[in-house]
Amino acid sequence: MKKRLNGLAWLLASVGFVIGLYGLYQRFTLGHRMADYGSYIPWGLWVAAYIYFIGLSAGSFLLSTLVYVARIERLEKIGKLSLFTAFACLVGALISIWLDLGHEFRVYRVVLHPNFRSMMSWMGILYSSYFLIILVELWFAMRVDLIAAGRGQGASAALARVVALGSTDTSDSAVERDRRILKVLGSIGVPLAIAFHGGVGALFGVVGARTYWHSGLTPIAFLVGALASGGALLAAIVYVWGPDRDGPAFEDMMRFLGKVVLAIVLLDLLLEVSEFFVGLYSEIPDEAIPIRAVLFGSRWYVFWVVHIFFGVLVPVWLLFRNAVLRRTGEGGRAAGAVALAGFLVAVTFMAVRLNIVIPAQINPEIAGLEYAFTGPGLKYTYLPTLGEWLVTVWVSSFSVLLFLVGYKLLPIVGRDDREVA
Amino acid sequence: MAFMDIEPQEIRRRMTEDLRRALAKPMNERHWVMVLDLAKCVGCTACTTACVAENHLPPGVVYRPVIEREIGRYPNVRKTFMPRPCMQCDNPPCVKVCPAHATWKRPDGIVEIDYDKCIGCRYCINACPYSARTFDKGFYYSDGTPYIPDYEKKPAFEYGRTWPRRNRHDSPAGNARKCTFCLHRIDKGLLPACVTTCLGDATYFGDSNDPDSLVSRLIASPRVMRLKAEFGTRPSTYYLV
């Protein structure tokens, strides 16, 4: 079953990668003319995809700190896996937002000439630091395994030797040093992950012109959303690619992950309900119109069907039943159910991200502006074009392939733990 | 002009004099403002068209749309027209959010963009409460035809520089763009294109630091209001309502 899921992931990601290339080709030949965003709705699908991936990354990373900082033993073996998941998602996020830029080759300016009053500049600085921390942390987490893997023959061993960067010390004191370094890096990583994902929320929250975003709750909602989606993704990934898959400890770990995800999904729902009730009650158009559009607009199903039904109700039911109620060892199917719930939450969270980015922009800032002058991009409706979807399919597939290739080549999960049922 | 003792034919001559007087001062001692008299605007959109022609704006980019509104209840209904240039805010939200230092406020109050520095993230477009910035996606009017005529590639002269449109990747294509109060004209002692083409003399321009300028007298009027004052942006564009 898990082998089949692994194969399916390879197949879907490969197909997505190839099909998505057409979107990429369009993006580089037609530029932004191929996209439906414009002047009145300047941010579209790619910005939503960016905050989606960055949330997955931050959530997954924060769970890795449970291993390296909080030293939660039952999660011990998935530390590297969660770090690597965070890395693959971060790469996806960065590509997505990079392709969204009008002048993508000037992106270096954000880091070299930052405006410290701009949240986006801070993002550039924080992402660079985060990228570095993940890489260094991954290296230290894999160092001993890399040395071991490098002793063999073949391409994988050769790669391990290169990545090990000449390190050969596998003594107990070196391993202990690695642990200490990981704890320090993880401890730096926690505020960093909170700062950058809360920062992404703040990037939207500080925009006073868009009342729907302009709330102190926005950065917090982004963080909780990150933990919900990233944690859920990890639950699904651990089920298919995690270590020790058939032992009782594995079931125990999955149920623990399930409980964590359940709690955070419910907390996220609470924040959402709070935002919507407060926004609707006062009926201030700038805020109420976007909320009404989310709940009852022409694309109501994105919220109700994709997010609420498949992203909250079904997973909550699955998690409650399998992670909370079921006793250990009973039937042995709890792990699969938790993984399915996690997968549903992780995938459908894109609906939440779309519902954050797009509706805030549908309300003309000055009534009547939409009729004042016409031209491409001067409108208040937005539906991603096929090209935009294809680019997002490519970015997602690229992230998945990055994960799969890394998983295959690097000792992200120990060889002995990999045996597939 | 009930509150102003100036003949209509005198208005433009007076504003040109104000302009020359202001230009003789150092930049940080003048503050350009625009005043729009909504009671006089007839909604002809000559200003919009003049602006598009003056700045060689491509499809989808507009600096000065005129917004039409119906007010009153049938049968007592009338239309009002509100031109909307860039407000050139004193506290511009677009400047604060720019991650690349590509936009700033000049000492004379104009918010400037360096198209060579702009990365096209469109954060400023979202941050502007007036939707005054538009995204140049690189369109030509002759898109869909076999030939792009040379006039589409003629340079724009915004912010005193030359911006040819040789291909679709050249800035300002891919950038956020906005009204500049026709800085390139002002520097030469000419009034902005929208001011000179306004049929009803509804658009005024000048230096608010000069107590004798026409605009200084206008913005002292009790009819004056600024759009979305509650945002604290302190626009340099005033409306007489």
pLDDT above 50 (res A421): no
Q: Residue A211 in contact with residue A383, Cβ under 8 Å?
A: no
pLDDT band at A156 (very low <50, low <70, confident <90, very high): confident
Nearest to B119 among A101, A117, A209 (CB): A101
> Considering only alpha carbons, which residue of chain A is nearest residue B101?
A115
Report pLDDT digits (tens) over B48-66. 999 999 999 999 999 999 9
Q: How many C-beta atoms lie closer than 10 Å to residue B127's C-beta?
A: 21
Pick among B126, B143, B233, B234 to test the A interface (most A CBs inside 10 A): B126
- Chain B residues touching A364 at Cβ < 8 A: 131
Please state the pTM of the whole predicted model. 0.93
Tell me what the mean pLDDT of segment A362-366 comes to.
93
Q: How far is CA A231 from the centre of its chain?
A: 9
Residues from chain B that touch A371, judged by Cβ atoms under 8 A, are: 67-68
Cβ contact, residue pair B135, A377, below 8 Å: yes
Contacts with B, A 336-395, CB within 8 Å: 361, 364-369, 371-373, 375-378
Q: How confident is the model at residue B182 (pLDDT cuts 50, 70, 90)?
A: very high
Q: Reduce the secondary structure of chain A to three states and give it as a string.
A: CHHHHHHHHHHHHHHHHHHHHHHHHHHHHHHHHHCCCCCCCCCCHHHHHHHHHHHHHHHHHHHHHHHHCCCCHHHHHHHHHHHHHHHHHHHHHHHHHHHHCCCHHHCHHHHHCCCCCCHHHHHHHHHHHHHHHHHHHHHHHHHHHHHHHHCCCCHHHHHHHHHCCCCCCCCHHHHHHHHHHHHHHHHHHHHHHHHHHHHHHHHHHCCCCCCCCCCCHHHHHHHHHHHHHHHHHHHHHHHHHCCCCCCHHHHHHHHHHHHHHHHHHHHHHHHHHHHHHHHHHHCCHHHHHHHHHHHHCCCHHHHHHHHHHHHHHHHHHHHHHHHHHCCCCCCCCHHHHHHHHHHHHHHHHHHHHHHHHCHHHCCCCCCCHHHHCCCCCCCCCCCCCHHHHHHHHHHHHHHHHHHHHHHHHCCCCCHHHCCCC
Q: What confidence category does residue A244 fall into, taking pLDDT thresholds of 50, 70 and 90?
A: low
The pLDDT assigned to A324 comes to: 85
- A418 located within any domain: no
Closest partner CB to B135 (pick from A38, A117, A366): A38
Measured distance CA(B56)–CA(A259) in Å, rounded? 60
- Between A and B, how many CB-CB pairs are < 8 A? 165
Strand pairing report for B32-37 and B203-207: antiparallel
A183-205 pLDDT tens trace? 888 888 888 888 888 999 999 99
B121–A208 C-beta distance less than 8 A: no
Cβ separation A377–B137 shorter than 8 A: yes
Rg of chain A (C-alpha set): 22
Q: Which among A100, A118, A372 has CB closest to B99?
A: A118
pLDDT given for residue A148 in this prediction: 83
* Other C-beta atoms lying within 10 Å of the C-beta of residue A288: 18
> Which of the residues A103, A111, A121 would you substitute to probe the B interface, choosing the one with the greatest number of B C-beta atoms within 10 Å?
A103
Q: What is the ipTM of this complex?
A: 0.92
Q: Looking at the domain assignment, is residue A400 inside a domain?
A: yes
Minimum Cα–Cα distance from A370: chain B residue: B67
| Confidence band for B25, pLDDT divided at 50, 70 and 90 | very high
Pairing of the two strands B237-240 and B76-83: unpaired
Q: pLDDT-based confidence at B237, cuts 50/70/90?
A: very high
Q: Range of A200's domain?
A: 2-409
Written as one letter, the residue type at A119 is M
Model confidence pLDDT, tens digit, residues A196-236: 889 999 999 999 999 999 999 999 999 999 999 999 999 99
Q: Taking the domains of chain B in order of start, what are their residue ranges? A: 8-240
Task: Give the 3-state secondary structure of chain B.
Answer: CCCCCCCHHHHHHHHHHHHHHHHCCCHHHCCEEEEEECCCCCCCCHHHHHHHHHHCCCCCCCCCCEEEEEEEECCEEEEEEEECCCCCCCCCHHHHHCCCCCEEECCCCCEEECCCCCCCCCHHHHHCCCCCCEECCCCCCCCCCCCCCHHHHCCECHHHCCECCCCCCCCCCCCEECCCCCHHHHCCCCCCHHHHHCCCCCEEEEECCCCCCHHHHHCCCCCEECCCHHHCCCCCEEEEC
Find chain B residues with C-beta within 8 A of A40's C-beta: 131
8 Å CB contact of A366 and B227: yes
Q: Which residue has the tokens 């030509």?
A: B140
- pLDDT tier at B1 (50, 70, 90 boundaries)? very low
Among candidates A351, A350, A337, which has minimal Cα distance to A395? A350
Domain holding A26: CATH number? 1.20.1630.10
| Cβ–Cβ under 8 Å, residues B230 and B17 | no
pLDDT at A420 over 60: no
User: A127: which chain B residues are within 8 Å (Cβ-Cβ)?
Assistant: none
Strand partners, B70: B79
Predicted confidence at residue A169, as pLDDT, reads 79
Amino acid B81 reads F
| pLDDT bucket at A330, cuts 50 / 70 / 90 | low
Chain A partners within 8 Å of B133 (Cβ): 39
* Cβ pair B62, B141 in contact under 8 A: no
CATH architecture label of B8-240: 2-Layer Sandwich (3.30)
C-beta of residue A43 within 8 angstroms of C-beta of residue A357: yes
Give me Rg for the CA atoms of chain B: 18
Per-residue pLDDT band at A270 (split at 50, 70, 90): very high
* A42 inside 8 A of chain B by CB: yes
Q: How confident is the model at residue A308 (pLDDT cuts 50, 70, 90)?
A: very high
> Is the pLDDT confidence value at A417 over 80?
no
d(CA B62, CA B136): 9
Give the nearest chain A residue to B58 (CA atoms).
A375
Q: Which residue among B48, B60, B99 places its CB closest to the CB of A376? A: B60
- Look at A372 and B65 and tell me if their CB atoms are within 8 Å: yes
More confident residue, B219 or A65: B219
B93 CB neighbours in chain A (<8 A) are 207-209
> For tokens 């005198």, what's the residue?
B10
Q: How far is A343 from A233, CA to CA, in rounded Å?
A: 6
Report how many domains make up chain A: 1
CA–CA distance, A328 with A249 (Å, rounded to integer): 10
Rounded to the nearest 10 degrees, how much is the dihedral formed by the CA atoms of B169, B170, B174, B175?
170
- The predicted-structure confidence for B129-154, as pLDDT tens digits, reads as follows 999 999 999 999 999 899 989 888 89
Name chain A contacts of B176, Cβ cutoff 8 Å: 102
B232: left (phi over 0), alpha (psi -120 to 50) or beta: left
Residue A378 has pLDDT above 80, yes or no: yes
pLDDT of residue A66: 81
Section A157-170 average pLDDT: 81
pLDDT in tens, A44-85: 999 999 999 999 999 999 888 887 777 777 777 788 899 999
Work out the end-to-end distance of chain A between its first and last CA atoms, rounded to an integer number of angstroms.
7
Q: How far, in Å, CA of B44 to CA of B81, rounded?
A: 9
Would you place residue A274 in the very low, low, confident or very high pLDDT band (cuts 50, 70, 90)? very high
A419 falls within a domain: no
User: What confidence score (pLDDT) does residue A147 get?
Assistant: 85
| Interface test mutation site (partner A, options B119, B141, B148, B225, max chain A beta carbons within 10 A) | B119
- Which chain B residues contact residue A126 at CB under 8 A? none
Q: What six digits make up the tokens of A334?
A: 């709890």
**What is the pLDDT at residue A161?**
82
Cα–Cα distance, A212 to A355 (Å, whole number): 11
Position A316 in a domain:
yes
What percentage of chain A has pLDDT greater than the value 90?
65
Evaluate whether A253 touches A74 at the Cβ level (below 8 Å). yes
pLDDT for A414 equals: 67
CB contact at 8 A, A348 and A311: yes
pLDDT score, position A150: 80
